[in-house]
Amino acid sequence: CNKADLGPISLNWFEELSSEAPP
Amino acid sequence: HSIEQTEIADLPACDSLNPGNLQLVSKLKNPSGSCSVDVSAMWWERAGLKEPCIITACEYVVSLWKPLDTWQWKNIYTWHFTEVPVLQIVPVPDVCNLVCVALGNLEIRELRALFCSPDDGSEKQVLLKSGNIKAVLGLTKRRLVNSSGTLCDQQVEIMTFAEDGGNKEKQFLMPPEETVLTFAEVQGLQEALLGTTVMNNIVIWNLKTGQLLKKMHIDDSYQASVCHKAYSEMGLLFVILSHPCAKESESLGSPVFQLIVINPKTTLNVGVMLYCLPPGQAGRFLEGDVKDDRAAAVLTSGAVAIWDLLLGHCTALLPPVPDQNWSFVKWSGTDSHLLAGQKDGNIFVYRYS
């Protein structure tokens, strides 16, 4: 598969989603 | 307790697909008269000695077997149930001398912890939870997660056991607005937990904070997917799913497992690989287990099939013995063996290489 199909990738996705999600 | 087991049986043998991969090393005969439902392997400590034991479940009896020399097994503890039958064994990693079981008829009605009294060594069981339980999984760091209730009052609960198996703490995760069917830990991210839902979404939680981080919709080709394994690598989430409801396709054969990759930031995802049966083999996924880069499944044909997830193809097949289909299969958590069971109580231990 092509990585570009998946949009921008972040190595710190877990921390970023945790800071964005409601507590 | 007598030795109920066992000589090395000369059946069933692996078929010609790759006969070197599976070698029968031991057979264990569960003496209970009721239908055999599950098997697992776990560490159990007695008199200061930690041993890799096998645990078997029949409808109303759960038995623990210790290894003897020459691949024989001795039944050392037996727990009995009278009202509700056992559905599955729920091993809890990192807990020694305690195993959980799920009981119910079609759906899980109770979760119980099984252990032995430190005073007199007698078998004990405690009720951990009762109700309408949809999914349960033992997690690392002595945790057990379960989802229960109906859609509007769904609870996702984590219980944490003390090192000796006692004193459990409770914590709740934010429930998604749809029923959770299965859970999976994420290798490489200790505080992440995945769930699959009836709406074909994969949800992800932060186990530390209880936050529901994301709901990610996956391909609608397969309904009610079961998540067996997940790992995080290079900012992407790789997930091994099975598809109990998949239809056989002439072009692809029968997809039993699938590897998908998800970008958790965007929720965009794509299928990477389908793990199908070799040509000439038929059957759909009934139940299975994934450990490291190996997947095993019991198929509707009554056979067991094994895939190397890195190679991408089926590496071994155990055909059904005449009049005796395979009914469950597990990878041993204590070594690299495959435990395959039949309804009549026969458990076969294979070395897979």
Query: What is the reported pLDDT for B142?
Result: 94
Look at residue B7 and tell me whether its pLDDT is greater than 60.
Answer: no
Look at residue B253 and tell me whether its pLDDT is greater than 70.
Answer: no
Question: Is residue B340 very low, low, confident or very high in pLDDT (cuts 50, 70, 90)?
Answer: very high
Bigger pLDDT: B117 vs B203: B203
Look at residue B164 and tell me whether its pLDDT is greater than 70.
Answer: yes
Cross-chain residue pair A9–B268, CB shorter than 8 Å: no
Residues of chain B numbered 221-250 and touching chain A (CB < 8 Å):
232, 234-236
Residue of B nearest to A17 (CA): B213
Look at residue B141 and tell me whether its pLDDT is greater than 50.
Answer: yes
| Average of per-residue pLDDT across B218-223 | 77
Q: How far is C-alpha B338 from the chain's CA centre?
A: 12
- How does the average pLDDT of chain B come out, rounded? 88
Say if residues B44 and B90 touch (Cβ distance below 8 Å): no
| Average of per-residue pLDDT across A2-23 | 91
Q: What ipTM score was computed for the predicted complex, to two decimals? A: 0.94
Cross-chain residue pair A1–B271, CB shorter than 8 Å: yes
Residue of A nearest to B193 (CA): A14
C-alpha span between B188 and A18 (Å, rounded): 16
Using CA atoms, how far residue B213 sits from A23, B145, B162, B216, B313, in Å, is 10, 17, 28, 10, 34
| Average of per-residue pLDDT across B253-276 | 91
In this predicted model, what pLDDT tens digit does every residue of B93-111 receive, in sequence order?
Answer: 988 899 999 999 999 999 9
